[in-house]
Chains A and B, each alone.
Chain A
Amino acid sequence: MTSATHSDATARLAQIFEDEAEFVWRLLRRLGVGAADAEDLTHEVFLTVWRKLESYDTSRPLRPWIAGIAVRICARFRRYARNRYEVLAESVVEHDLTAGAEEQLHAFRLLTEVMQPLDLERRAIFVMHDVEGWSMPELAEALEIPLNTGYSRLRLARKQVAEGIARLRQQGADL
């Protein structure tokens, strides 16, 4: 990278960071990355974005591209045995929520619990489609998977999550 393109890319990254940091952080947290590690991983995501900016096709939407990078970095992170199991939502209190958001926190805990059995591929689809509200074509492009693979993963993820909800109901959880 020449010094001119280096400074261009750095300036552009600053804007992208401003617009997308919140999204990247939330996505990583929803994919099961603990609050302590989410910061490191968000940093890594934006460094990767910076490195790949030159080759990025500007006709494509930015957010799916960044989401794809985040999911891949998350997958690499979770390959470590010690990162495979997420910290349960108790730790969320100090880091993510302000006081008075007990109901939200309770919902987040339950959602985290029912998403725990999902592998990352299914969880990413479930989170981005059902929680973030993305369309499947957007998702398929972001994750570089065929459309039908996306639908298939979503179906399986929903089934697993529904089982989790049923389990919670049996346990008498306040849903």
Chain B
Amino acid sequence: MTMRNIDELDQDLRALVAKTREIPSLPASAKQRLSRRLDLTLSGVVSATPLADPSAARHLPTLRTALLSGVSLVVGIALGLVSANLWTDSDQHLPSTASQHADASVAYADASAKRDTVPTRDAAVGPRDSQAAARPLRKATRRASVATRTARDQRLAHERSLIEMARSALARGDAPAALEATRLHRQAFGRTGQLGEEREALAIQALINTKRFAEARRRAKAFLRKYPRTLLRPLIEKAAAAVR
């Protein structure tokens, strides 16, 4: 039997399929709403789910926009710094034991190579032979270093995707989804993540949008204590003040 000779549909199933061919259909009201929302989004107005509490809602549109812009800026800067760090040859700032080990090996290999280039009286072990001997070690340590960087890249990409999910969920007014994304980020990266600051800022905004004001205030306070020099300080302070 070739791959394309697939089994026929069960008769009962065929009947079910025939009955449901036209449904579910998009309700006209939902289509209108969607069309309006698309127009708003494309004209630059961020669509958002209206809040039930008007007193809090009064402060939120500008804060939301400002906070999202701020977070995007910081994410950009952070990623820029991280990428710059990743592309430099020196990994001395990185906490990874594997990379330290790899760097130490590279340094050792380089030092050995330099030492071996000093002319010796012993003609049997010339500089070329020494360099050739050091080559496999250098290759191996470079491979280890590349593997470490790849792992770091992947980790950062994962972090970034979660932060992006939270950010876009907030932008489309889906605060619970944003909270879920920040929760997943916290669970996966906790204190070791490189985008913890951005996560916390987004989580605070999402908490405010879901009207969990007490929790938002508590987290804002912790945020400012943990990141006293954050670029997002004024925005977080304003957000916390708005729900006081």
Please determine whether B23 and A101 come into contact, CB atoms closer than 8 angstroms. yes
Would you give the shortest CB distance from B184 to chain A, in whole angstroms? 8
Residues on B with C-beta less than 8 A from A81 are 180
Interface size class of A (residues with CB under 8 A): 35 or more
Q: Which residue of B lies closest to A25 (CB)?
A: B26
User: Does B23 lie within 8 Å of A96, measured CB to CB?
Assistant: yes
> Which of A61-69, A103-111, A116-124 contacts its partner?
A103-111
Q: Quick one: which of A30, A47, A154, A159 contacts B38, CB cutoff 8 A?
A: A47
A35 to B33, CA, bound (A): 14
**Chain B residue contacts of A114, Cβ below 8 A:** 13, 16
Do residues A26 and B25 form an inter-chain contact, with CB atoms below 8 A?
yes
Interface check B241, CB cutoff 8 A: no
Interface residues of A in 32-68 (CB under 8 A from B): 35, 39-40, 42-44, 46-47, 50
Number of A-B contacts (CB under 8 A): 116
Q: Contact at B180–A80, with CB atoms within 8 Å?
A: yes
Q: Which residue of B lies closest to A105 (CB)?
A: B23
Q: Is the CB of A26 within 8 A of B26?
A: yes
**Is A21 a contact of B34 with CB atoms below 8 Å?**
yes
Residue of A nearest to B7 (CB): A158
Taken together as a complex, chains A and B put the C-alpha atoms of A114 and B9 apart, in Å, by: 13
Query: A131 contacts which chain B residues (CB < 8 A)?
Result: 17, 20-21
Task: Sample 29 A-B pairs with CB under 8 A, ordered by A number.
Answer: A22-B25, A22-B26, A25-B30, A29-B24, A35-B24, A40-B172, A43-B37, A43-B38, A43-B172, A44-B172, A47-B38, A47-B42, A92-B23, A95-B27, A96-B27, A97-B23, A97-B24, A101-B23, A104-B19, A104-B22, A110-B16, A111-B16, A152-B3, A154-B6, A155-B7, A158-B7, A161-B10, A162-B13, A175-B15
| Given A14-B35, A47-B38, 15 other A-B residues pairs in contact with their CB atoms under 8 A | A17-B35, A21-B34, A43-B34, A47-B41, A47-B42, A96-B27, A101-B23, A103-B19, A108-B19, A136-B4, A152-B3, A155-B7, A158-B7, A165-B13, A169-B12
* Interface positions of A (Cβ within 8 A of B): 10, 13-14, 17, 21-22, 25-26, 29-30, 35, 39-40, 42-44, 46-47, 50, 76, 80-82, 92, 95-97, 101, 103-105, 107-108, 110-111, 114, 130-131, 136, 148, 151-152, 154-155, 158-159, 161-162, 165, 169, 175
